[in-house]
Structure formats: structure tokens, C-alpha cells
Amino acid sequence: MVSRRRTVYEGKAKTLFEGPEPGTLVQYFKDDATAFNNQKKGVITGKGVLNNRISEYLMLRLGEIGVPTHFVRRLNMREQLIREVEIVPIEVVVRNIAAGSLAQRFKLEEGSLLPRSIVEYYYKSDELGDPLVSEEHITAFGWATYQELDEILNLTLRINDFLCGLFIGVGLKLVDLKLEYGRLWEEDEMRLVLADEISPDNCRLWDSRTNERLDKDRFRRDLGKVEEGYQEIARRLGILPEAGRGDLRGPDTMQ
Ligand code: TMP
Ligand code: ASP
């Protein structure tokens, strides 16, 4: 029963419960959605189920290429077992195509290809509205060390390269994505692992041919068919069973 477990952290889109063994947590995916630092609130029906699946799928694929992640296994429709980590209080955003706040800040046309992938850091603070920060702020204020930042940058670029290819294969452009990392202690050793989730809540995914937005921007910008966007991404990844079919298929590869 959900209510009997101890809640460790209550976020906007997820709740973390105490896990079955020490060092583990249960990550529960809600249908709640927020935007613009909680000013816009809503519900995207079925989002939690889809994000649980999508994040599982992407974390497993990343694990296969040697990216360490907090993911252990999916438990049920809305929950997955994860390793308990100390979250580095930085949102790492990597961008391939101009959109959102970058397009606004530099008056770029949304959809224009960037000269190269650009990595940005935001300090995780609801009170401050997640401000954009530089490496200097991060190291001076002790949010992460130089060594950790170096590893975070390398992992982020590798994850971005891999996911760009994976999504191209199913007819989607990875415009940008937000990643979070955590510190995991094993004996006396600390290592950084990919944490949180990778889902249409925290990346922009556009149809390769039409540039149709299929991610959370449909909610943020009131574009309609929000649920359908999430479903389409899951369907293309081959993790949404076709109507009338209960099985899980591999990804639909487009030529
Ligand atoms: P932005 O263009 O609004 O700065 O967003 C960049 C990417 O980061 C986009 O894929 C959405 C994601 N993102 C989050 O996951 N959480 C946030 O709070 C914000 C502002 C963006
Ligand atoms: N994550 C939200 C967004 O994507 C911001 C928020 O949580 O308030 O805009």
C-alpha cells in the first residue's frame, strides 16, 4: 500500500518512497505536470505510466553502453526501484537545436541547428527559479567539484550522442534534454551516476519530418493532444503495446 510507506521526497512529477533494502528507493511516477516553476499546473492522464516505461527503456539502453545509472528495475506500471543517491543540485541541459529559453535569450529561430551541442547548468532551487549558472558558481559554491563537473560533461555529451542516434532511428529529433546526476557511495568509493528520469517531461522531441512537437511543450504551450504526444514517443520506441496486443515489441526502426 502506497500510504504505509515512508515518503522520502515529494516532487512535482514523482514521489520517492523508502525502498525494500537499504540504499534503495522506489520512484513513483505521477500524472501531475507543472511548468514555469509551478505557475502552471495540470494533469496529463497516463503520463506516469508512460514516463516510467520510457525512462526504464532509455536507462537500460544507456546502461548497455556503460553509462552508470541509478536504475535497478521496474516494479510495476508506475514504480521503479532505484539506487539511493545524493543528487548533485545542478540541472544539466544539453541542446542540439535552438528552442525554449535558449532561443529566447539569444533571439534564435526555434528549430535552427546549433553550431555544436551546447551544455548549460542550472542551479536546482525552486526559490530562485533554477537560475542559469556557470562552472565558476558551481565549484565556488561547492555544488560540485572540478573533477565531478569534468565527468558530468563527458557523460552528458556521450548520453546526448547516443540518444540522438537512438531517437533518429525512430523518426525523432532530440532537440534538447535535461539530466541530473547523483553521488553513489560503494564502500569508500564515490561514483557519479545518471539519476532522475529521461522522459518527454525533460527533453524536447520533434518528429524528424514535420517538426511536430511530441513532448511536454504540448502542455507548456497549450498545443493540445498532450497525452497523444507522450503515447506517440512510447509507441515509436516500441514500448507501448499496440491496441489489442499485450506484448512488448522492440523499437520500430525507420529507414
Ligand atoms: P528550456 O529551454 O526551458 O531551458 O528547457 C531546456 C530543456 O530542459 C527542455 O528539454 C526541458 C527541460 N527542462 C526541465 O526538464 N525542467 C525544467 O524545469 C526546465 C525549465 C526545463
Ligand atoms: N519542470 C517544469 C518545466 O518543464 C518546471 C517546473 O517544474 O515548474 O517547465
Q: What's the CA-to-centroid distance between 178 and ligand 1, angstroms?
A: 6
3-state DSSP assignment of residue 184: strand
Ligand approaching nearest to the C-alpha of 197 = 1
Residues 186-193, mean pLDDT to the nearest whole number: 94
Residue nearest atom 17 in ligand 1 by C-alpha distance: 202
Q: How far is CA 14 from the centre of its chain?
A: 12
Which listed ligand is nearest to 93 at the C-alpha? 1
Q: Which residues line ligand 2 (CB under 6 A)?
A: 12, 34-38, 216, 220
Which grid cell sits at 149?
Answer: 563537473
User: What gap in Å lies between CA 2 and CA 23, rounded to an integer?
Assistant: 19
Looking at beta carbons, which pairs linking 33-36 to residues 24 or more positions away fall under 8 Å?
Answer: 33/201, 33/216, 33/219, 35/216, 35/219, 35/220, 36/220
Answer yes or no: is the C-beta of 178 below 6 A from any ligand 1 atom: yes
pTM over 0.85: yes
For 21-54, write each residue's pLDDT tens digit: 999 999 999 999 999 999 999 999 999 999 999 9
Kindly identify the ligand whose nearest atom is closest to the C-alpha of 39.
2
Indicate if the pLDDT at residue 18 is higher than 60. yes
pLDDT tens-place string over residues 132-182: 999 999 999 999 999 999 999 999 999 999 999 999 999 999 999 999 999
Q: Whose CA is nearest to atom 5 of ligand 1?
A: 100
